[in-house]
Amino acid sequence: MCSLASFLAIEGTNFGTILASKPKSLSSSSMMSSQAHLNCKMHFYPRKRAGVSVAVSVSVSASVEIDGGNSMPVSGLVFQPFEEVKNEAFVAPVAPQVSIARQRFTDECEAAINEQINVEYNNSYVYHAMFAYFDRDNIALKGLAKFFKDSSEEERTHAEMLMEYQNMRGGRVKLHSIMNPPSEFDNAEKGDALYAMELALSLEKLTNEKLLSLHKVADRCNDPQLADFIESKFLDEQVEAIKKISDYVSQLRRVGKGHGVWHFDQSLLLEGEAAV
């Protein structure tokens, strides 16, 4: 080992040159009262040169002390939140009728969500009418009645999820009119069970199409949060519902309008009990 002075003489190292070569980003107009500090660290390890075992590792680090005394690394970009929040886009509105939470949520997305709420409520209304039909004493297909009642409640739950999301984003929920559903579902050719199940399949496919349209609106308006909400909460479940009801339609087409419908109805009851 040797002294630092001897080492510098041997290596001919100019540390002033090393320090001067660091970027001069320490003095910036955005850091008016800041102070810059340079730290130099030297580490020795064995190395033979001219019969002397010497080595050095030099590291230079820079930090900036901003007004309050907090040290932070210099990266060429200093985040100044108290300056940036002065932007009008981040100021909370004071008007009583204006949402405080709303941010990057377009009127088009708000309107599309309200339309989807109406779709879900219409489906729920139709399924509730189907429940009432199959629960009659002269129909008495309790499995189908329970299936459509559960479907009605599920659609209403979807509508409420969309309403909660609308409020979360700072939109306004506007409920539209709901069409009167039919009260009779008997069909001379297909029978009531198959006719109602095919209608349910058509409604689920229509709902899926409406959800995809809502997703397109979110993409067009550059709203990834809304797009993610539709994908994670609705799309997978919708595809699964289409497959499930498609299976039911196929089974009902096989059994016809006779005694097989009763057995199919009993299977729905057993499925419901198993799910519980």
Q: Residue ranges for the binding site for Fe cation?
A: 120, 155, 158, 204, 238
Contact between 216 and 231 under an 8 Å Cβ cutoff? The reply is no
User: Which whole-number Å values give the CA distances from 198 to 58, 133, 207, 249, 262, in the listed order?
Assistant: 78, 16, 14, 6, 17
d(CA 97, CA 238): 35
d(CA 39, CA 74): 13
What are the two backbone dihedrals, phi and then psi, of residue 20, each rounded to the nearest 5 degrees? Answer: -70, -25
Number of other residues whose CB lies within 10 A of the CB of residue 100: 10
Nearest alpha-carbon partner for 30 in 88, 89, 87, 72: 72
d(CA 165, CA 153): 18
Cite the annotated binding site by residue number. Answer: 120, 155, 158, 204, 238
d(CA 262, CA 276): 22
Contact between 108 and 221 under an 8 Å Cβ cutoff? The reply is yes
Nearest alpha-carbon partner for 181 in 148, 212, 220: 148
Residues ≥6 apart with Cβ < 8 Å to 106: 221, 223
Helix (H) or strand (E) holding 42: strand 35-43
